[in-house]
Amino acid sequence: MNKDNNSEIKAIGSCNCGKVKFELLQALTDVFVCHCSICRKATGSGGIAVTIVPDTSFRVVSGSDAVRQWTKPNHDWLCNFCLYCGSPLPGKNDELHTYVPVSLLDSGYEQLQVKHHLYVDSKAPWEYIAGPGKQHLQAFQH
Specify the CATH number for the domain of residue 67: 2.170.150.70
Task: Please report whether residue 123 resides in a domain.
Answer: yes
Query: What are 76-126's pLDDT values in tens digits?
Result: 788 999 999 999 999 999 999 999 999 999 999 999 999 999 999 999 999
Task: Please report whether residue 142 resides in a domain.
Answer: no
What pLDDT, on a 0 to 100 scale, did the predictor assign at position 3? 45
Query: What are 56-69's pLDDT values in tens digits?
Result: 999 999 999 999 99
CA distance 133 to 41: 22
Eight-state DSSP code of residue 41: H
Task: Please report whether residue 1 resides in a domain.
Answer: no
The pTM (predicted TM-score) of the whole model is 0.89
Task: Please report whether residue 59 resides in a domain.
Answer: yes
Residue span of the structural domain in which 42 resides: 8-135
Based on C-alpha coordinates, what's the Rg of the chain? 15
For the chain, what is the domain count?
Answer: 1
Task: Please report whether residue 107 resides in a domain.
Answer: yes
Task: Please report whether residue 2 resides in a domain.
Answer: no
CB–CB of 78/67 below 8 Å? no
- Contacts of 118-122 with C-beta under 8 Å, sequence gap 24+, read 118/32, 118/33, 118/34, 118/35, 118/36, 119/34, 119/35, 119/36, 119/39, 119/47, 120/35, 122/35, 122/36, 122/37
Q: What percent of the chain has pLDDT over 90?
A: 78
Task: Please report whether residue 3 resides in a domain.
Answer: no
Task: Please report whether residue 140 resides in a domain.
Answer: no
What pLDDT, on a 0 to 100 scale, did the predictor assign at position 57? 97
